[in-house]
């Protein structure tokens, strides 16, 4: 009888450990409010990435315009220098 009580106590203890394990695993899984939070974070980050990509595109276009202007200035300078010499 005492042996049976020990087995039952051990099984109950195992069940508690298993339940705690399940709760720990559940907190790591994507479900419920945690899923909503993760999705909101991902959407916010996606918007930031898209804004940065747009800014990057604009900076590239501006840089190309600046380089083109500098080339024209250098060509004009070279022509003036050639005319002086």
pLDDT per residue rounded down to tens, the chain (85 residues): 777 778 888 888 888 898 888 877 776 666 656 777 888 899 999 999 999 999 999 999 999 999 999 999 999 999 998 888 6
CA 62: distance to chain centroid?
27
Query: In Å, how far are 4, 74, 83 from 50, measured between CA atoms?
Result: 65, 36, 50
44, 37 contact by CB (below 8 A) = no
- The answer, as to whether pTM is greater than 0.85, is no
1 SS3 class: coil
């Amino acid at each position: 009888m005492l042996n049976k009580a020990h087995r039952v106590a051990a099984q109950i203890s195992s069940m508690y450990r298993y339940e705690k394990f399940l709760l720990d695993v559940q907190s790591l899984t994507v479900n419920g409010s945690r899923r909503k939070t993760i999705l909101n974070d991902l959407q916010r980050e996606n918007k930031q990435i898209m804004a940065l990509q747009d800014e990057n595109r604009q900076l590239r276009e501006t840089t190309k315009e600046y380089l083109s202007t500098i080339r024209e200035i250098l060509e004009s300078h070279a022509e003036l220098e050639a005319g002086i010499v």
